[in-house]
Structure 1
């Protein structure tokens, strides 16, 4: 389990939804737009997750504002450390800093959320053909 996920300690229901719903991520000046493609009208389910000090600090969704627990959008970012790392790197560059010019190949990276549940793979693993729902 990632250290940030341990800190958040999300309810099981939120963690499962963060794993299996079809989220799309877009970097926004060091923050992340999370769009839930599981709905018929994904544009109506698009929220901004604010990243502060390398942690998904808040989300513009109604659930995050009305609950003491982090919403599924923030957890979806936490369980995908590569997405979170890219947002942090983008913020550093946007703030005038620099990042190392390491390996940019992201397409062949193993899914970093495999550690969460063998019984319920995340949507990205299913969509990429790395895992099956019927296992």
Structure 2
């Protein structure tokens, strides 16, 4: 998958690290906090990726400021379209707009409930509104 970034494609090394490192994501008013759980001290490896015009535009990490291409944190957000879409939706709402679930394509996601216990619905069904956790 080609990341959605304003610069040219990231180096292979950066793309690979963005794929395999254990990142945790948190939405922040339309931006994304990226925490690298691969380290023994993940608190020191937590950065804010700014989303501008639907693109991971900048990161607060030293590597993003010191290199010509995007850092692994920006690439990690770019290659995860659901995280990026949610950040964009959050920005719209934070800016006073609204989002409509009617134009969301989550209803087309397949049900994976049969792979789980009977009491627990799959994420696709919860996200699409077909089931909720109280069922």
TM-score of the two chains, using structure 1 as the length reference:
0.74
Corresponding residue for 1:40?
40
CA distance in 1, matches of 2:69, 2:124: 33
Corresponding residue for 1:80?
80
Corresponding residue for 1:91?
91
CA distance in 2, matches of 1:29, 1:100: 18
CA shift for structure 1 position 36: 0.1
CA distance in 1, matches of 2:62, 2:72: 11
CA distance in 1, matches of 2:2, 2:27: 21
| Cα distance, 1:74–1:93 mapped onto 2, change above 3 Å | same
Correspondence 1:17-56 to 2 at 5 A:
17-56=17-56
Q: List alignment gaps of at least 5 residues for structure 2.
A: 110-121, 126-135
Report if the CA contact (8 A) 1:10-1:70 is conserved: yes
CA distance in 1, matches of 2:75, 2:3: 12
CA shift for structure 1 position 6: 9.0
CA distance in 1, matches of 2:10, 2:77: 13
State the Cα deviation string for residues 29-77 of structure 1 (Å, max 9, x = none).
Answer: 0000000000000000000000000000000000000001000000000
Q: List alignment gaps of at least 5 residues for structure 1.
A: 110-135
CA distance in 1, matches of 2:4, 2:64: 17
Report if the CA contact (8 A) 1:34-1:73 is conserved: yes
Greater RCO between the two (CA within 8 Å, min separation 6)? 1
| RMSD between superposed Cα atoms in Å | 2.3
Segments ≥4 residues shifted beyond 6 Å: none
TM-score of the two chains, using structure 2 as the length reference:
0.74
Quick check: which has more Rg, 1 or 2?
2
